[in-house]
Chain A
């Protein structure tokens, strides 16, 4: 298991290297630069800026400089947010996105899994139709519609919760963004759990368990749920990586200082270092989450073993 983990981590290095290299050059191919804007800068000022950020050097040289700094854990200064380094921005934003995203996933699991299981057990019943109908609506209504409605209803009309703002992560400020972020996930997880549960309930070993005389509760709890969780598990890896790196929509609507918007802002501003920083960070997270999921697989399914 330990050797397997180490092997996977080593394999991640070339993957990340390729991701970083491709992103670095793709970013430079994009038209426009970090200092292009509504006001054209006098050439002498543009020259000062290019020199200050080493953009006047040949591209391969810039690449080597970037990789050198990266190896020392230095993502460089942001071109746009001058009082912060990219590392500071990520370190300030990530805990926020982690908190919102983590809570949303947790909420999604707590609500989505039981709903999915219930729908599977009561297949083709009213319960099933209601749960799946609601889930479909949850998937169909996008965040950017739901979030402003939440803010309007609970923040403005009812006045129960803040309509936006972070306020240092105070509880009232968390509720709406977490719920808004989790709705779609609840829907996905419920649907996935239902499908996989139905498949498992129809398999031979469940029939055997029933034939042994186990009651239905035991069959479901002891035998069906664990294997049924596998597809949800493999969905969760990348989903968690995606959700804890922030949602630009939720962050903008509720004014939350997560890192999601850096992906978009960085790209739009041609803030090269910020884009690279977020890409590397996201890349590492994806690799880690996939590894964790694979390791959890073996815990859930005895047929999967990582011995070598």
Chain B
């Protein structure tokens, strides 16, 4: 035991007295304290693990070619303007003259070339490298079949111009450029320090803030970067990101004034929060879908379209949204959630709004498929361990009960859950998808034949054909039409069970300005300030 600590405990009363006096000292006026759900994996963007909370820190300390406004609109970032070639396959970005790393070195197109190569280098084993696969040779570089310099990116005019060559027109490409995988990397530091460039003695970033302290599992602190081109318009002096794994204790810390923002409060507390902290409780649509995968593989009862339709008909989505989830999810009958740009929300055909009609039809369908009192439908429903998933699973099983469906519920931790359903060992399984970028393709690819995240192994050549066609279509209206047609093919096949769309759930101090709800739930701190 550390001897230094002994005196403290010997005087618990004086400790309490001191505590009270210390609490009175004011915090730094313009420091924003955010409670995030988890911890950043790394300040090297090639090593980030994909948690939604990680982008909050990264978007504050780095900036890509584009950046976002408080409401999620795309704005020029490290590039001030850009041109797209007529065939949609070449993008030319003109770099900002006054962009600097936090160590004073200029940010050039060279740093983007290097950053993208760094992401794709096989030895860096980046989980998210596939985000750049639309770039010429990206996949071959990532597998080691081609050298790094074969990647279709160029630095021209002494680093003032960054040119990207794509394999095929990628209409969502500009949306991709705010994702952390497309940030630049400081070549001069990686060359000098190798993997240790991220250590706090060496690291430099190009965003509005620079990292200054990291206590693992407690907090990351960043302070305003004086070299940021727009530093004069950044109001905050610094930001602390506290790791708050226990969401309920996060609410206590918010109420005690220790946090200005708490991301993702528990849905079960929504009602209480709106009653007691109405000005601080935010909830808004989010680009995320909560759905049940139906196993389309031969041998599973859900390979039969009639069964899939019947199961869909019996799910009361409004009940799930309003009663089971207390309004903290929205009912959905599609894969692509509302709010996706250049896309109209589609709907699965569930016939009538009247539940009795729907249940009658569902029973009829199951009877046609050979199920009935003598031969009940047995389903294995898998979900990953969580109170929310459990509540929903129990409710859905109860909704299917009148159809004579026996549900065996199997829960497992997330790692095991996804491994099991990837192997096809289930009939119905819980899944969710949060958009990487604001485009319908990001959701619809989940139903494309052979795609890893297509857990139910749904396959329809017509769907695949439309998706391939959309990938080649540059005109945004025409592409929207094709993608909507594709989604309708899958909805007509009852390929999965759409149930809910996610909402963002944030507690935000009413003192904050420049913090706006948006569908991507991205809130760059550079726009945020405290009102007087």
Is the CB–CB distance between B415 and A270 below 8 Å?
yes
Residues of A close to B352: CB separation below 8 A? none
Which of B18-26, B473-481, B520-528 forms contacts with chain A? B18-26
Q: How far is the CA of A92 from the CA of B215 in the complex (A)?
A: 8
Which residue of chain B has its CB nearest to the CB of A84?
Answer: B216
Are the C-beta atoms of B143 and A38 separated by less than 8 Å? Answer: no
Chain B positions within 8 Å of A38 at CB level: 414, 418, 431-433
Bound-complex Cα distance A181 to B423 (A): 43
CB distance A102 to B1 under 8 Å? yes
**Contact A269-B50, Cβ < 8 Å, known A44-B142, A48-B142:** no
A287 on interface, CB distance cutoff 8 Å: no
Name A44's contact: one of B139, B216, B416, B422 (CB within 8 Å).
Answer: B139
One of B127, B217, B415, B433 near A33 (C-beta < 8 A): B415
Closest to A49 in B: B125
Q: Which of B19, B41, B142, B414 has the most CB of A within 10 A?
A: B19
Please tell me if B80 contacts chain A, counting CB pairs below 8 Å. Answer: no
Among A66-74, A124-132, A152-160, A198-206, the stretch that binds chain B is A152-160
Residue of A nearest to B249 (CB): A253
* A156 and B9 contacting across the interface, CB-CB below 8 Å: no
Q: When each residue 249-278 of chain A gets 1 if its CB lies under 8 Å from chain B and 0 otherwise, what string results?
A: 001111111100100000011100000000
Where chain A touches its partner, the secondary structure class is: helix
Q: Does A82 contact B (CB under 8 A)?
A: yes
Whether, in the assembled complex, B130 has its beta carbon less than 8 Å from a beta carbon of chain A, the answer is yes
With A and B bound together, what is the CA distance between A42 and B142 in angstroms?
11
Interface segment, A17-25, A169-177, A207-215?
Answer: A169-177
Quote the shortest CB–CB distance from B211 to chain A (angstroms). Answer: 10
Per the bound structure, the CA–CA distance linking A163 and B262 in Å amounts to 14
Across the interface, A45 reaches (CB within 8 A) one of B2, B123, B129, B198, namely: B129
User: Which residues of chain B are near A168, meaning CB under 8 Å?
Assistant: 215
Task: Bits for A90-103, please: 1 = Cβ < 8 Å to B, else 0.
Answer: 00110100110011
Q: What is the bound-complex CA distance between A27 and B189, given in angstroms? A: 37
Given A82-B42, A261-B217, A270-B415, A52 and B50 contact (CB-CB distance below 8 Å): no
Q: B125 near A255 (CB under 8 angstroms)?
A: no
CA distance A106 to B5 in the complex (A): 10
Q: Is the CB of A36 within 8 A of B419?
A: yes
CA distance A105 to B1 in the complex (A): 10
A288: chain B residues within 8 A (beta carbon): none
State whether A103 and B50 are in contact (beta carbons under 8 Å apart), knowing that A36-B419, A40-B453, A163-B255 are contacts in the complex: no
Residue interface bits A230-265, CB-to-B below 8 A is 1, else 0: 000000000000001000000111111110010000
Residue B300 is within 8 A (CB to CB) of chain A in the complex = no
Interface membership of B244, Cβ < 8 A:
yes
Q: How large is the interface on A (under 10, 10 to 19, 20 to 34, 35 or more residues)?
A: 35 or more
How distant is the Cα of A92 from the Cα of B252 in the complex, in angstroms? Answer: 26
Q: Which of B47, B126, B218, B453 has the most CB of A within 10 A?
A: B218
User: Is A63's beta carbon under 8 Å from chain B?
Assistant: no
In the assembled complex, the Cα of A102 lies from the Cα of B15 at a distance in Å of 16
Q: Please report the C-alpha to C-alpha distance between residue A168 and residue B214 in the assembled complex, in whole angstroms.
A: 11
| Given A151-B249, A160-B20, residue A255 in contact with residue B43 (CB < 8 A) | no
Q: In this assembly, does A165 line the interface, its C-beta being within 8 Å of a C-beta of chain B?
A: yes
* Chain A CB within 8 A of B375 CB: no
- Closest A residue to B199 using CB positions: A83
Q: Does A306 count as interface, using CB distance less than 8 angstroms? A: no
Cα(A252)–Cα(B190), bound, Å:
35
Q: Which residue of A lies closest to B14 (CB)?
A: A171
- A104, B493: Cα distance in complex, Å: 60
Inter-subunit contact B23/A45 (CB<8 Å): no
Interface pair A257/B258, CB less than 8 Å apart: no
Q: Does B16 reach chain A (CB closer than 8 Å)?
A: yes
Contact in complex: A80, B9 (CB < 8 Å): no
Q: Does residue B356 face the partner (Cβ distance < 8 Å to A)?
A: no
Q: Judging by beta carbons under 8 Å apart, are B23 and A98 in contact?
A: no
Decide if B5 touches A103 in the complex (CB within 8 Å): yes
Partner of B19, one of A166, A171, A244: A171
In the assembled complex, the CB of A266 is this many whole angstroms from the nearest CB of chain B, namely 12
- Complex formed: what's the CA distance from A41 to B455 in Å? 12
Tell me whether B215 and A155 are in contact (CB under 8 A).
Answer: no
Q: Is the CB of B218 within 8 A of A268?
A: no
Instruction: Tell which of A43, A156, A174 touches B8, judged by Cβ atoms closer than 8 Å.
Output: A174
Q: How far is the CA of A35 from the CA of B22 in the complex (A)?
A: 44
Interface pair A159/B125, CB less than 8 Å apart: no
- In A4-36, the 8 Å CB interface with B consists of 31-33, 35-36
In the complex, which residue of chain A has the Cβ closest to the Cβ of B19? A172
Query: In whole angstroms, how far apart are the Cα atoms of A166 and B188 in the complex?
Result: 35
Within 8 Å CB of A252, what residues of B? 245-246, 249
User: Cβ of A48 and Cβ of B44 under 8 Å apart?
Assistant: no
Q: Taking CB as reference atom, which chain B residue is nearest A176? A: B19
- The interface residues of chain B lying within 8 Å CB-to-CB of A222 are none
Given contacts A41-B452, A155-B256, contact A92 B216 (CB under 8 A): yes
The reply to whether the CB of B72 lies closer than 8 angstroms to some CB of chain A is no
Supposing A38-B414, A40-B452, A166-B218 touch, asked if A107 and B249 sit within 8 A by C-beta, the answer is no
Could you pull out 11 A-B pairs where Cβ atoms are within 8 angstroms? A40-B418, A102-B5, A103-B8, A161-B19, A161-B23, A165-B219, A166-B218, A166-B219, A178-B9, A252-B245, A253-B246
Sort A-B residue pairs by CB-CB distance and give the 10 closest, nearest first.
A32-B415, A40-B452, A172-B19, A257-B218, A52-B125, A82-B42, A163-B256, A82-B47, A48-B125, A257-B217
Known: A35-B127, A83-B199, A151-B256. 15 other contacts (CB 8 A): A32-B418, A36-B422, A38-B414, A38-B418, A44-B139, A44-B143, A93-B217, A106-B6, A171-B8, A171-B19, A172-B19, A175-B16, A253-B249, A254-B249, A268-B414
